[in-house]
Structure 1
Amino acid sequence: MAEKITLEELKALAGKHYGTSDWIKIDQKRIDAFAECTNDWQFIHIDPEKAAQTPFGGTIAHGFLTLSMLSAMVYQMPALEKVAMGVNYGFEKVRFVSPVRAGARIRGVFGMKTVDVQPGFVTIVMDVTVEIEGQEKPALVAEWIGRRYLEESA
């Protein structure tokens, strides 16, 4: 479980490194499960033989699978205390820079761009880079907006 931080500590992180997640393996089983959930059956994701004939040389993760892994990664970052619930508010930008090949490991590197405190909630904007182990170019870069609704007593 991520460490809990106060609102003042969160605000002090604006413009600074927020944290780096552990590596997560993106294997073919995970890619197939994502295809099942989304009905995205494109062969470059699920057919190793056919995908081997492409410039990728094998199957690759769906871009949206890589993006969806941000949820697991951000749970490893310090968490604001006294939060009733957190929600995704959206993205200002998302770019899929490099494919994630089946079997690769990825991790999230988070920077806290801004922290906007309003009555009852906090809106945070994070710069996120998903790195691929052993590769120079990242899998994706994004500007992610989250909202944390505060407990009544906060």
Structure 2
Amino acid sequence: MTTPLSVAVDDLPGAEGTAFGPSEWRVITQEEVDDFARLSGDMNPIHIDPDFAATTSYGTTIVHGLFTLSLVVPLMKEILEVTGVGLGINYGSNRLRFPAPVPVGARIRVSGVLKSVTEVTGGYQVEVPVTFEVEGGEKPVLVTELVLRYYR
């Protein structure tokens, strides 16, 4: 089990520039992808039809990019803990890219950096570049800069 970077909300400015992670590896199953497709309405056959996907350059079904992004919550929980928080919110994301696919059944993990910490009324806004990688992959599968807010 990975030990998370633990920072008290009032100590966030002093943690600026600190890297954390990577998380543990996590497998994404076809059942999870199918569930995401039903919930999101994104029924593209590259995600849900193994026979179709086998005829493409990927050779297999691939995970929705937005499903991969949604896994940032449980994966980040493993590697970053901000204590003393009354409320934490996802304020947005900057420069979201999916440079490589995630084949269904592959293992992914995430790592990040507390790039900048800015005081906002009642707490701090933190810009956190994160990178998702797939086991054995040459390129990242997702890169973005999360914008998170932590209030006391």
TM-score by length of 2: 0.91
| Greater share of residues in strand | 1
Alignment correspondent of 2:16? 14
Alignment correspondent of 2:116? 114
CA contact (8 A) 2:115 2:128 kept: yes
* SS of residue in 2 equivalent to 1:76: helix
* SS of residue in 2 equivalent to 1:142: strand
Alignment correspondent of 1:125? 127
Distance in 2, Cα, partners of 1:102 & 1:90: 26
Distance in 2, Cα, partners of 1:6 & 1:41: 42
Q: 1:71 to 1:98 in 2, by over 3 A?
A: same
* SS of residue in 1 equivalent to 2:102: coil
CA contact (8 A) 1:95 1:141 kept: yes
Alignment correspondent of 1:34? 36
Give the deviation of 1:78 after TM superposition.
3.1
Give the deviation of 1:9 after TM superposition.
4.1
Deviation per CA, 1:37-67: give whole Å up to 9, x if none.
1011000000000110000101000010111
Which runs of 4 or more aligned residues in structure 1 lie more than 6 Å from their structure 2 counterparts after TM superposition?
none
Distance in 2, Cα, partners of 1:74 & 1:109: 8
Instruction: Find 2:97's aligned residue among 95, 98, 101.
Output: 95
CA contact (8 A) 2:9 2:85 kept: no
Deviation per CA, 1:100-126: give whole Å up to 9, x if none.
001001000111101112331211100
Give the deviation of 1:81 after TM superposition.
1.6
Give me the identity figure in percent. Answer: 38
Give the deviation of 1:128 after TM superposition.
0.5
* SS of residue in 2 equivalent to 1:67: helix
Give the deviation of 1:20 after TM superposition.
1.6
Alignment correspondent of 1:78? 80
CA contact (8 A) 1:93 1:144 kept: no
* SS of residue in 2 equivalent to 1:56: coil
Distance in 2, Cα, partners of 1:82 & 1:99: 37
AA in 2 matched with 1:121: G
Structure 2, unpaired ranges of 5+: none
Instruction: Find 2:142's aligned residue among 132, 140, 143.
Output: 140
Matched, 1:59 2:67: no
Structure 1 stretch displaced more, 10-19 or 124-133:
10-19
